[in-house]
Chain A
Amino acid sequence: MCLAIPAMITALHDENMGTVNLGGVEREVSLALVDATVGDYVIVHVGIAISKLDEDEAKRTLALFDELGAELDGLDGEAS
């Protein structure tokens, strides 16, 4: 469990539905369980958005990884 991927909301519709786009492929999904709008990324599972992706958190963790890489390069001088 559980196949779910981040896709961007490109349009909102009635009854809590929205269009999401992943790599040019689009689908209507339910946005009833998230507070998200056009431009946000949501995690989509079986046709519903189960979570809104926190872009700040994503940036933060990616920055941590960059640091980790730099650390290792510095520490032991090995090519990563």
Chain B
Amino acid sequence: MKFIDEYRDSEVIRSLLSQIGEEAVREEGYRLMEFCGGHTHAFYRYGLLPLLPERVTMVHGPGCPVCVLPISRIDAAVALAAKDDVIFCSYGDMLRVPGSDGKSLLKAKASGADVRMIYSPLDAMKLAEQNPDCQVVFFAVGFETTAPATALALKQAAERKAPNFTVFCNHVLTPPAMRAILDDGSLEGSMDGGADGSTVHGIVGPGHVSAIIGSSAYRFVAEENHIPLVISGFEPVDLLESILMLVRQINEENAAIINGYSRVVKDEGNPQAIALMDEVFDLRGSFEWRGFGMLPDSAQKLSSKFADYDAEIRFGVTYGEAHDHKACRCAEVLRGQLEPEGCSVFASVCTPENPLGACMVSSEGACAAAYQYGRHARGDQ
């Protein structure tokens, strides 16, 4: 397939691996974080981790919008779905995520709730038009890549004055999460490295988020935290290219923001998408993130212009005190402080069939990826 296969070329991949091996010579090694869950998934899917030289280690970041959604909001989604005349529309990723007492949308569906899996928010709008006697609620999750689609659906709803369509908005923003990770005391951004080796030296930046927000959104990473960031695509060639560029930056003690996905990402991002999001969404003052607690200016809600389509308003959604499962350590995994294999319940009590937390359910959660693909990734071959 065009623009996919070329970036999986084995010759190029082997060359890049060879080059990385040659240039990654620093004693203290290269601790790189791939922020985006899609990248985590790609590393595992292509079996790249065992091929990287020992000095290069990847730390998994929190860029998994399914993983960072707190339990209280999942509970709210399940409660909305259970309402009598509601058709609750959700992406496939969210259906198995357990809320309190393990209740998920899929379980709610088994108990009689009308939960529908959809591929696009525009399909949720179609459902609303086809079912005028029902309230269609769309469960909007995702970072800046996905928010524009929600925004388009809302514009459509407003243009058609849809009386029965609302959005339960849980969109979150990348730069604040990145700040939180970098400013975390135990993950110092200094290039000198922490004594416990928990520093991140470079970041593999999200590819499709950047297609929307552009590269300038990450300037603070270079200017304030002095860490290089390379925006990367999702194919093996892209990932290795980005690692090579980071290794070079780190060797030269440079901290620049580099667009390594220039075939898709423009430095200015997608101005039409940005303008649309500005119109449809407002910043929430703060929002709870699993693993990070309350982060300021880190999430979106519907702007007052779209209040008529806001599920939180129409249904008076409230949030209870909800806690992760006692044994769940997703919070630490999301902060890059704990490897999945380091969690005592990983692959024993907590499995994809019986997930205790979102990191094991989401296809790009670090735990799901490790379980599916990489339980034996290190130490073989």
A11 to B186, CA, bound (A): 52
- Please give me the residue from chain A that is nearest to B364 by CB atom: A1
From 31 to 50 in chain A, residues with beta carbon under 8 angstroms from any chain B beta carbon are 32-34, 41, 43, 45-48, 50
Contact at A72–B264, with CB atoms within 8 Å? no
B4: Cβ under 8 A from any A Cβ:
yes
Interface size classification for chain B: 35 or more
B139: Cβ under 8 A from any A Cβ:
no
Contact at A23–B263, with CB atoms within 8 Å? no
A61 to B107, CA, bound (A): 47
- Please give me the residue from chain B that is nearest to A8 by CB atom: B2
Q: Please encode chain B, from 324 to 357, with 1 for each CB lying within 8 Å of some chain A CB and 0 for all others.
A: 0000000000000000000000000000000000
Q: Is the interface of A mostly helix, strand, loop or mixed?
A: mixed
Q: Please encode chain B, from 4 to 19, with 1 for each CB lying within 8 Å of some chain A CB and 0 for all others.
A: 1010010110111011
| CB proximity of B9 to chain A, nearest CB, Å | 7
Contact at A80–B15, with CB atoms within 8 Å? yes
A80 to B18, CA, bound (A): 8
Residues of B contacting A32 in the complex (Cβ-Cβ under 8 angstroms): 152, 272
Given known pairs A1-B146, A48-B122, A61-B262, the reply for A53 and B270 (CB within 8 Å) is no
A2 to B237, CA, bound (A): 17
| CB proximity of A69 to chain B, nearest CB, Å | 4
- Please give me the residue from chain B that is nearest to A4 by CB atom: B208
A46 to B94, CA, bound (A): 14
A55 to B6, CA, bound (A): 13
Given known pairs A1-B208, A30-B122, the reply for A57 and B263 (CB within 8 Å) is yes
A43 to B206, CA, bound (A): 15
Residues of A contacting B270 in the complex (Cβ-Cβ under 8 angstroms): 33-34, 50-51
Contact at B209–A1, with CB atoms within 8 Å? yes
Contact at B4–A6, with CB atoms within 8 Å? yes
B110: Cβ under 8 A from any A Cβ:
no
Residue among B1, B11, B121, B145 facing the most chain A CB atoms (10 A cut-off): B145
| CB proximity of A64 to chain B, nearest CB, Å | 9
A65 to B143, CA, bound (A): 31
A54 to B12, CA, bound (A): 21
Contact at B272–A33, with CB atoms within 8 Å? yes
Contact at B145–A54, with CB atoms within 8 Å? no
B149: Cβ under 8 A from any A Cβ:
yes
Given known pairs A45-B208, A50-B212, A54-B262, the reply for A33 and B122 (CB within 8 Å) is no
Given known pairs A32-B272, A51-B211, the reply for A2 and B38 (CB within 8 Å) is yes
Contact at A1–B206, with CB atoms within 8 Å? yes
Q: Please encode chain B, from 117 to 141, with 1 for each CB lying within 8 Å of some chain A CB and 0 for all others.
A: 0011111000000000000000000
A23 to B3, CA, bound (A): 12
Residues of A contacting B373 in the complex (Cβ-Cβ under 8 angstroms): none
Contact at B273–A33, with CB atoms within 8 Å? yes
A68 to B121, CA, bound (A): 42
- Please give me the residue from chain B that is nearest to A73 by CB atom: B15
- Please give me the residue from chain A that is nearest to B3 by CB atom: A6
A55 to B50, CA, bound (A): 32
Lowest 10 CB-CB distances: which A-B pairs, in order?
A47-B120, A2-B145, A58-B263, A6-B3, A51-B211, A57-B263, A2-B208, A69-B15, A65-B12, A57-B262
Name 13 A/B residue pairs within 8 A (Cβ), A-sorted.
Answer: A6-B3, A6-B4, A33-B270, A33-B272, A46-B149, A47-B121, A50-B145, A51-B266, A58-B263, A60-B262, A65-B12, A69-B11, A69-B12
- Excluding A47-B122, A68-B15, 20 further A-B contacts by CB distance (< 8 Å) are A1-B38, A1-B145, A2-B36, A2-B207, A8-B2, A23-B1, A29-B120, A30-B152, A32-B272, A33-B148, A45-B145, A45-B146, A45-B208, A46-B146, A48-B122, A51-B264, A54-B262, A55-B263, A62-B6, A72-B19
A: residues with CB less than 8 A from B are 1-6, 8, 22-23, 29-30, 32-34, 41, 43, 45-48, 50-51, 53-55, 57-58, 60-62, 65-66, 68-69, 72, 78, 80
